[in-house]
Structure 1
Amino acid sequence: MQEVNGVKVPFVPIGGVDGIKPSPQISTPQGKSFDEVLRGELDGLKFSHHAQTRLESRNIQLSNEDIKQLSDAVDQAGQKGSRDSLIIMKDVAYIVNVKNRTVVTAVDGDKLNQNVFTNIDSAVLINKQ
């Protein structure tokens, strides 16, 4: 039998008779933390497959500034507690799921005048050209 501190034990402790050795320090990688990467992913605006198809088929081009304005509009809607928002910018209507920050669809031109939008709880109008 093993003896630990003067006591005979019928087993060997996990760390052996000398005790558990401290584990070596793991160095943290340099660069962005997990929280920063996660926040960047959550803050970004996403486009559903349906929205991407609509943008392409209707030849709707979005510049980086347009995407920033759309993202800011989603932020505004989110601050008011919106879930699904209609965002109108440059004669194009976007339906956006605010919680997921996802553009669900886009409508422009004549279709914009002939549409009824349902299941939205807010509207944001962007007048910047």
Structure 2
Amino acid sequence: MQVQNKGYLSIEQLQDQYLKQNKSGTSQVATDGQSFQEILENSRARAQGQVRFSKHAAGRLADRNIELTSGQMERLQEGAQKAQMKGIKESLVIVDQLAFIVNIPNNTVVTAMNQQDAAENVFTNIDGAVII
């Protein structure tokens, strides 16, 4: 016996559509292995318009023994804001002897290095630079 569905989707078809939608990431949030505390801090920083650090960038700061002063953090934030006003998407922001690659739309520092680590002075995949 064959049942005609008159243009309506079966439960199985709806389920397949829902699962495909979730696999494409449209209704899921990627956490990149972050802890709940990191996600909470990052969402607070984003809400306040502050620059946040990716897990990779935080690791680079720790590996390279780079500690930012509050003044340097303010200048990094200022540099990211200037880059955003100019329409830059991926920016090199230089603060003192430190270089940061910042993803401007996400307001996220992607990587960080000091002068010794940037010995080649070649930066790729950026579309602008701010020296502050």
Settle same-fold status: TM greater than 0.5: yes
**1:22-81 deviations in Å (ceiling 9; x for gaps):** xxxxxxxxxxxxxxx989615011100000000011111112221111011100000000
The alignment covers a number of residue pairs equal to 90
The 5 Å alignment of 1:1-129 reads 41=47, 43-126=49-132
Q: Report the TM-score when normalising by structure 1.
A: 0.64
C-alpha distance in 2, partners of 1:64/1:44?
Answer: 13
C-alpha distance in 2, partners of 1:58/1:47?
Answer: 15
C-alpha distance in 2, partners of 1:114/1:108?
Answer: 12
C-alpha distance in 2, partners of 1:105/1:39?
Answer: 17
Question: Unaligned 5+ residue runs, structure 1?
Answer: 1-36
**1:92-122 deviations in Å (ceiling 9; x for gaps):** 1100001110000011132212242111000
Which has the greater radius of gyration? 1
What corresponds to 1:24 in structure 2? none
Question: Unaligned 5+ residue runs, structure 2?
Answer: 1-42
How much is the aligned-residue C-alpha RMSD, in angstroms? 2.0
Q: Compared with structure 1, are the counterparts of its residues 62 and 39 closer, same or farther at alpha carbon in structure 2 (3 Å cutoff)?
A: closer
Matched residue SS, 1:112:
coil
